[in-house]
Amino acid sequence: MMRLKSLMLVLLGLVFLSQFSLGADPILIAHRGMLRHAPENTLPAFSVCLDLGIGFELDIRTTKDGELVVIHDDGLQRTTNGLEKSIRDITWAEAQRLDAGGWFDPAFAGTRIPSLEQTLQLIKDRKKGESIIALNVKQLNPAGEKQLVDLVKKYDLFEDCFAFDQNAEMSKRLKQLNPRFRIGQNVNRKSIDKRLKENVLDVFLLTFPPEKKEVDRLKQAGKQVLFNYAGPGAARRNPAVWNQIRAAGVEGMLTDYSLECRQVWRRADHASKK
């Protein structure tokens, strides 16, 4: 309960600070939602992001009976009270009986694994302005591919969402299902020219801190430019890098530390006005 109260105090402060956000700031994309403050890949973790105007990344898998669900691992034991089973081996009804929050904190006991549709409905209902939702495709069958595209269309989220981590063949099928469905991919510096020549990607999820000229080049080619800085630890919690990619003009950054990063940017703004 104390953790939940502390989170609420942080959020109230960030809501206030967000009123002074510069329009040129990259959109922060919280890795698996606000995973350091709520159970990862759950509606509470996503709701916090939406209330603060922060995007988020989520992971998509499929149940035994074909429901698209949001969970990172194939196995259930790390983030639910389920047995050592695969999400692929249980039905949606069985998944809904699992507790996906109590492992994180008793305040979240009873939180459920969300379906992708529940998540997209939440986004449609609560997002504030422009956002970026990164759909990490972990496991889909052909029927699930169509369902994914249909759901993004149903909630009119083509401009906000993109899919990544799927193989090239699936990317092609998703695009054929609807040309408006956006395809992303992690891209290193050495492969930029190749990816541009292929002209398959709508979203370049850069795995290195880019220079402004690199970002400008990709934008001129009509690509959305993001920086993938997800993961825990000091190597991914570097204010110097946060400020560097902000200056480079990327449109979004995937991170585990979205609240801390926003505070660093606000302090930099305040210092520049003195």
How far apart are the C-alpha atoms of 267 and 83, rounded to whole Å?
Answer: 46
- Among residues 7, 17, 30, 31, the one annotated as catalytic is 31
Helix residue ranges, H only, 86-141: 92-95, 116-126
Q: Is residue 72 annotated as a catalytic residue, yes or no? A: yes
270 is annotated as an active-site residue: no
Opening angle at CA 54, ends 68 and 4, nearest 5: 85
List helix spans (H) across the chain. 2-18, 43-51, 92-95, 116-126, 142-154, 168-177, 192-198, 212-220, 239-248, 258-272
Contact 97, 90 (CB under 8 A): no
| Alpha carbon distance 113, 264 (integer Å) | 33
* Distance separating alpha carbons of residues 204 and 181, to the nearest angstrom: 15
Q: What is the CA radius of gyration of the chain?
A: 19
List, by residue number, the catalytic residues.
31, 72
